[in-house]
Amino acid sequence: CEDRLCIDADSGRVHFVADGSILINSLYDPESLGFFAAGDGSTQSISIPDTDNRKWALDIIAEALLVNPNSTEASSNAIVIFDESRHQQPTLFGDTYNLLYYLLIYFTNDWMAMLLLFLTLFIVLEAVLIRKEDPEDWRHVFRIIYYGFGDARRYEYYQRPEKIRQVLLSRVRNLNTLSREEFDALPAVELQRMIDDPILVNFIFEDRRYKADELVGIIKRIKEWGRTDSEAEA
């Protein structure tokens, strides 16, 4: 519109300001004529700095409202529009942040997207439960059978004599209130005396293959071993 008046409805001027801070370095109340309310009905004068940009901003607005550069009259239908535009930065972090923010807004505002998100999370959690492996450091819990949700190998630990031995040895050590160092230093004769069960003693010291029914019987004896009469009745 440099050569035209820019007064019709579909035309106008655009002023680009690179740094928006030049428009907000001082805030004014035009109705107070240099004063602003300080509370309790009193007023306080405004100190206008020498480097104030208020006149510059008003000149820009006045120029946008003028009918032509040589006139001091404002157009009757002129409108000044302030638009703060934010442009995305071409960086990996910025693009990733914008994508995550968009997905968050999308999945929390659309009911179908929320349903799909819930179903996806449910399926993922089910897969985690099904594929969950029993931790190696489990000797402090006497639980031979692993009850995995939907796990077809729930009786797999009946076939692991070494883990069953670890459970038995931990049970013996705990019932005799021994530290790991004290228990490791025990002679074999003393360990046999503590166990006092020929079948379990043979299971501890014999390294051979066991049938499934043999391991089941050993597990039952381990569960019963060390119980008092009151515990057995309970």
Give the C-alpha separation, 194 to 112, whole Å. Answer: 64
Q: Are residues 170 and 228 in the same domain?
A: yes
Identify the band that residue 23 occupies on the pLDDT scale cut at 50, 70 and 90.
low
Instruction: Out of 64-68, 119-123, 147-151, give the one with best mean pLDDT.
Output: 119-123
Q: Are residues 127 and 181 in the same domain?
A: no
Structural domain includes residue 147: no
Which of these three, 131, 148, 178, is where a domain ends?
131
Identify the band that residue 208 occupies on the pLDDT scale cut at 50, 70 and 90.
confident
Structural domain includes residue 186: yes
Total domains in the chain come to 2
Position 1 pLDDT exceeds 60: no
Q: Are residues 167 and 224 in the same domain?
A: yes
Dihedral angle at the C-alpha atoms of 173, 177, 183, 185, nearest 10 degrees?
-160
Angle at 133 between CA 128 and CA 139, to 5 degrees: 140
Structural domain includes residue 31: no
Contact by Cβ (8 Å): 167, 144: yes
Q: Are residues 165 and 224 in the same domain?
A: yes
Mean pLDDT confidence for 55-78: 73
| Helix ranges restricted to H, 25-160 | 54-65, 92-109, 111-131
Structural domain includes residue 61: no
Selected residue with higher pLDDT from 7 and 146: 7
Give the C-alpha separation, 26 to 46, whole Å. Answer: 10
Structural domain includes residue 199: yes
Q: Which of the 8 DSSP states describes residue 53?
A: -
Burial 68-97 (b: 16+ CB within 10 A, else e): eeeeeeeeeeeeeeeeeeeeeeeeeeeeee
Q: Are residues 167 and 120 in the same domain?
A: no
- pLDDT attached to residue 30: 46
Q: Are residues 162 and 217 in the same domain?
A: yes
Mean pLDDT confidence for 91-99: 74
Q: What is the pTM of this model?
A: 0.36
Span of 41-50, 61-70, 72-81, 95-104 with lowest mean pLDDT: 41-50
Mean pLDDT confidence for 82-105: 71
Share of the chain above pLDDT 90, in %: 0
Q: Are residues 126 and 167 in the same domain?
A: no
Identify the band that residue 28 occupies on the pLDDT scale cut at 50, 70 and 90.
very low
Mean pLDDT confidence for 125-139: 65
Burial 121-159 (b: 16+ CB within 10 A, else e): eeeeeeeeeeeeeeeeebbeeeebeeebeebeeeeebbe
Selected residue with higher pLDDT from 49 and 96: 96
Q: Are residues 168 and 114 in the same domain?
A: no
Structural domain includes residue 21: no
Structural domain includes residue 5: no
Give the C-alpha separation, 44 to 21, whole Å. Answer: 25
Q: Are residues 175 and 211 in the same domain?
A: yes
Structural domain includes residue 46: no
Identify the band that residue 145 occupies on the pLDDT scale cut at 50, 70 and 90.
very low
Identify the band that residue 29 occupies on the pLDDT scale cut at 50, 70 and 90.
very low
Range of the domain at 203: 156-233
Give the C-alpha separation, 167 to 101, whole Å. Answer: 50
